[in-house]
Amino acid sequence: MTSAMLVPVFMTIVGAATPILLAALGELVVEKSGVLNLGVEGMMLVGAVTGFAVTTVSGQPAVGILAAMLAAAGAALIFGFLTLTLTANQVATGLALTIFGIGLSALAGEGYVGRTVDVFGPVFPAALAEHPFWRVIFGYSPIVYFSIIMVFVVRWFLRSTRAGLILRAVGESDISAHSIGYPVIAVRYMAVLFGGAMAGVAGCFYSLVLTPMWAEQLTAGRGWIALALVVFASWRPGRLLLGAYLFGLVMTLELHLKAAGVSLVAPEFLAAMPYLVTIGVLALISARKAGSSAAPACLGKPFKPGT
């Protein structure tokens, strides 16, 4: 394959991996605090429709991204109130949040179906991306670079800051953390809001960069892949980066096999391939003791102060 052929393939991989990486980074922080939020898909859709609508009205993609972060964080806040304050079941509430996000985004985006916006273009000058080699480095939207930077920011936060240590302590032993004076509920609220904001950015990446247009269920189940990716990476940001690009490669392979008209494999199987890989990865991780023990000890368990 020539460089002219490889560059579009690589850029497609980056485009497919970026929203999964963003959503998974947010969910990793949430789960590190001991909260399991299965509503990633719903929050991504809320962010996607909000970002698209605000960008359409304002003409400013940056404003649309900010609005997407706030809207998805607002949806996450509902989840946080139900699970952290009212101690509702986290699994059921997360599933309800996904259903809520699908319905709300379809209703809010009804007037925007089929409409397009100006592409949220590369952050660097176009002259830097003229050569195929430099296009691989400088030819992306700001959200792509933001996703990579956030991998190192999250890793640094969790490993090298006092706040990150507190968050991990809350996720490993909430009762012990509470007994020495750490605000367990407040820490988890902040983690949930961060996870929602990251899901919002991931969602609007579809409607402002990849498409760029609005359609119902635009994210096509990628939020579930982001959830699986957190387990695949054993709750480590560095592995999350590698895993996201691995899934991006699988999705790109599906697209290029379809475009090439490969008849040996059914189109339905190609469409299902990313999700089959997800199931396979989860099965392998579940079979490994090391993978299962890497999960925060309090993941998914409710906490009631004073009990």
pLDDT at 291: 46
Lowest mean pLDDT among 5-19, 109-123, 156-170, 212-226: 109-123
Give residue-wise pLDDT tens across range 94-123. Answer: 999 999 999 999 999 998 887 888 766 667
Mean of pLDDT values over 122-149: 77
Q: Is the pLDDT of residue 271 over 80?
A: no
pLDDT of residue 70: 97
Query: Which candidate, 242, 240, 205, 206, places its Cα nearest to that of 226?
Result: 240
Does the pLDDT value for residue 93 go beyond 90?
A: yes
Q: What is the pLDDT of residues 170-212, one digit of tens each?
A: 999 999 999 999 999 999 999 999 999 999 999 999 999 988 8
> CA dihedral in degrees (197, 198, 203, 205; nearest 10)?
120
Say which residue, 201 or 12, is predicted with more confidence. 201
pLDDT reported for residue 136 = 74
Query: Alpha-carbon distance 70 to 54, whole Å?
Result: 12
Q: Which two tokens stand for residue 63?
A: 């404003």
Return the CATH number of the domain spanning residue range 3-293.
1.10.3470
Question: Distance between CA atoms of 212 and 121, rounded to whole angstroms?
Answer: 11
Give the pLDDT confidence score for residue 246 in this predicted structure: 87
Average pLDDT of the chain, as a whole number? 86
What whole-number distance in Å separates Cα of residue 126 and Cα of residue 113?
Answer: 30
Q: Confidence class of residue 4 from pLDDT cuts 50, 70 and 90? A: low
Angle between helices 237-259 and 3-32 (to 10 degrees): 140
Dihedral sign (CA 136, 25, 244, 71): negative
Rounded Cα distance between 161 and 3, Å, is 42
Report whether pLDDT(263) > 60: no
Name the 3-class secondary structure at 217: coil
Closest CA to 33 of 161, 156, 170: 170
